[in-house]
A and B are shown apart, each in its own frame.
Chain A
C-alpha cells in the first residue's frame, strides 16, 4: 500500500527523484473524505447528545414505538447493513476493473438505501398521522391522534426525534444520489429528475414529504453542476471514497437505532 500511496500522493520538490510521502499514506481524496466524516460525526454527535440531554432532563418522556415501529426500524437496519456489504462488493468489482459488476453492486446499494428511505418515510407519516408533529409540518386531515397530547406536553421529543432522523435521512438521500452519479454519471440525472417530479405530484400535499422531496431537486442541480463542470470516468478510488461516505451513514444509524427507537420501546 505504501508504494501505491507514494505513487499517488507524492509531492515533487523540483529535484529529480526527490519525493515526500503523504502524511497519512493515503491518496488525498480519501484523506479529504475521512476529514469530512470526522467533522460530520460531530454534527450527528451533537444531535444525539441533544436527544439524550432532553431525554434525561425531561420528565414524562414518551415511548411511542410499538411492535410495528420496532419491526420496521429493524428491517431498516438490516437494509443499511446489507447495503454496506454490497458497497464493499462494488469496491472489489471496481478494483478488478469490472465495470458491469461495479454498476450492479452500486445499484444494489442504492436499492437498499432507497428501501431505507421509503420505510423511514412511512414511519414518519404514521407518527405524524397519529399526532406526533412539529409546528412547521402540514396538518394531517382528520381528528388529532393519540400523540397530539405528547407533541403539546413534551415538544422536545418531536423536535429532537425529527431533527435527528431528518438529518440522517438527508444523508442517506445524498448518499443514494452520490452513488447514482458514480455508477451512471450523466445518465442518472434524468432518472433523478423524473423521480423528483413524479414524487412531488404523487405525494399528497398534507404529507411532509410533498415538500421534502425537493431535496432531490437540489441534488439534481448539484449533481448536474459537478458532472458538467468536471466530467470524468469514475475509477476504483472514487468508488472507494463514495463507499466511505456510505458506510458512515450506516455507522450513524447504529447509534440512532438503539438510542432513539430501542430505548423508547412501548411494550
Chain B
C-alpha cells in the first residue's frame, strides 16, 4: 500500500495555506455577525449579502478543506453542477409559491 492521499496533499499544498483559509473563514464569520447585528441592510438585501458570504465560505471549505480544488476536473464539475442544479430547481419550485401565499394572506 502506498500513500495515494499523501501524494495528493503534499504535492501541491502546505499547512500554511490551511491556516490562511481558517483565518479568512473566521474573518468572514465576524463580518456576517457585525452586518446582522448592526442591521446594516434591509432584510432582503441582508439575506442576499449573508448568502453571498456563505457561498464564499462554503467554496473555501469545499475547495481547500475538502480538497475538491485538487481533484480531477470531471469530479469537480460533476459534483458541483449536479448539486447546484438540484438547488436551483428547488428554488424555482418553492420560493415563488412562498411569496404567493404571503400575498394571498393564506396562513
Binding site for B on A (CB under 8 A): 1-5, 7-8, 23-27, 31, 34, 38, 41-42, 45-46, 49, 52-54, 56-59, 70, 74, 77-78, 81-82, 84-85, 87-89, 91-92, 94-96, 235-237, 239-240, 243-244, 247-248, 250-251, 254-255, 257-259, 262-263, 265, 267
Structural contact, A26 and B107, CB atoms closer than 8 A: no
B79 touching A262, Cβ below 8 Å: no
User: Can you list 10 A-B pairs, Cβ within 8 angstroms, ordered by A?
Assistant: A94-B5, A236-B6, A250-B61, A257-B29, A258-B50, A258-B54, A259-B54, A263-B36, A263-B47, A265-B39
Task: Report B's interface with A, CB cutoff 8 A.
Answer: 1-11, 15, 18-19, 22, 25-26, 29, 32-33, 35-37, 39, 43, 46-47, 50-51, 53-54, 57-58, 61-62, 65-67, 70-72, 74-75, 78-79, 82-83, 86-87, 90-91, 94-95, 97-99, 101-102, 105, 107
Determine whether the beta carbon of B90 is less than 8 Å from that of A49.
yes
| Complex interface: chain B residues within 8 A of A52 (CB) | 94-95, 98
A23–B74 CB distance below 8 A: yes
Selected contact of A247 from candidates B33, B37, B65, B83, CB within 8 Å:
B65
Q: Count of A-B contacts with CB under 8 A?
A: 164
Write out the residue numbers on chain B whose beta carbons fall within 8 Å of the beta carbon of A250. Answer: 61, 65
CA distance in complex: A77, B50 (Å): 15
CA distance A23 to B23 in the complex (A): 35
